[in-house]
Amino acid sequence: MTTVTGTHDISTLLAARHQTVASFGMDTVVEVLRRDMAAHNAIMRDALSDLADRTIDRQRLAGTSVSGEMVKVDEYGRAPTQKAKPGQTVGFPLDQYDFALGWTTRFLEKATPADLAAGQLAAQKAHRKAVARELRRALYLSSNYTFYDYTVDNVELAVKRLVNADSAEIPEGPNGEVFDGSTHTHYQARAGSLAASDVDALVKDVLEHGHGGQIKIVIAAGDAATMAGLTAGFTPLNAAFVTPGSASPTTAARLDATRADNRLIGYWNGAYEVWTKPWAIANYWLAYDASDSAKPLAMRVDTVRGSDLRLQAEIDLYPLRAEYMSAMFGFGVWTRTNGAVLYIGDTSWADPTIT
């Protein structure tokens, strides 16, 4: 007799449309849903690793660079003492998000494993949407705000954005560049008709602060054609794959044809990767250093529960039953200089509408 090998997964439940949970086995259903939830949370953590530092901190001190001047003196001279500029406190919000599923006892008697699996998939989709929405708000909105830490003790936290001309001290650049905190901003608009110089300025906003290990430019899939039109700076990946045994084989990177809204599409000035991402916003182009340990964002997680989507509570009050899926997380800018946004829709900056 042939042995069927493999592992029960969410597709196993979705395929079971002609068995009730009772006949399929509730223990099997629970175990498959548990493993699927673990996989979902692992994928979410990995997807955010470029942009956000996971932390339980609710605020940090973002220091400024230590700077000063060497003073020329003679053998009797004595230089004046100098002091470092103080840093600024940046806060990270933390919110709780719930997704509730409800059934009657009669429904569960008749429900298939596919019915229960569909409910968990809906919760996971809602979780992804919430994370993407809060990620966009942290990156693309330009105004600082105060967050009241209601899940802990209601303390006021000052949540910052990327550098936004709020008069905060800005660390000096790697070559001693000095920036005026009252005027320097990383929320830029195109100077006139969109040109390569606008994208060059976007990259410079990140590079001049010492973030140059692996600068990425992230755009929405709908802006790919606009980017391709900037031929003075953009080199697209070739969509054609080389046939094995070709007279001119190559190992150059090729365009991924499987996901138009999540792929490397080319390079800017031959050095900086250009990506489309599903969370990117049309007309807003983001640049950041993906290799820097000082990430643009901090993703605050709960000290006990973390940020994972989890079953928070079950309420069984015959004839009704409900399950509450819950996640706690929040995004705040951590490294204010490691990120800049170019608005290509006009010649003056305007915050996007994010819902």
Cα separation, 253 vs 240, in Å, equals 11
pLDDT tens-digit profile, the chain (355 residues): 455 454 545 555 455 555 665 555 556 666 766 777 777 777 677 678 889 999 999 999 876 655 667 878 887 878 887 666 666 889 999 999 999 888 787 777 777 777 777 788 888 888 988 999 999 999 999 999 999 999 999 999 999 999 999 999 898 888 888 899 999 999 999 999 999 999 999 999 999 999 999 999 999 999 999 999 999 999 998 765 555 666 665 556 677 766 788 889 999 999 999 999 989 999 999 999 999 999 999 999 999 888 888 888 888 888 888 888 899 999 999 999 999 999 999 999 999 999 8
Please tell me the predicted confidence (pLDDT) of residue 287: 98
Is 162 within 8 Å of 333 (Cβ atoms)? Answer: yes
Residues 6+ apart with CB under 8 A from 49: none
**In the block, residue with structure tokens 């019915």:** 115
Please tell me the predicted confidence (pLDDT) of residue 13: 47
The tokens describing 297, both together, are 């964002």
Is 205 within 8 Å of 185 (Cβ atoms)? Answer: no
- Cα–Cα–Cα angle for 115, 121, 126, nearest 5°? 130
Residue type, 287: A
Output DSSP code: residue 302.
Answer: B
CA-based nearest residue to 162, from 353, 307, 331:
331
| pTM exceeds 0.85, yes or no | no
Residues 6+ apart with CB under 8 A from 204: none
Cα separation, 93 vs 212, in Å, equals 28
Is-cis flag, bond preceding 319, omega within 30? yes
Is-cis flag, bond preceding 278, omega within 30? no
| b/e sequence 164-181, b meaning 16+ C-beta within 10 Å | bebebebbbeeeeeebeb
- Cα–Cα–Cα angle for 261, 267, 268, nearest 5°? 115
Helices then strands, each counted (H, E), the chain: 7, 16
Give the pairing of strands 52-55 and 297-301. parallel
Cα separation, 269 vs 199, in Å, equals 10
Please, what is the angle between helix 113-140 and helix 26-47, to 10°? 20
Beta bridge partners of 296: none
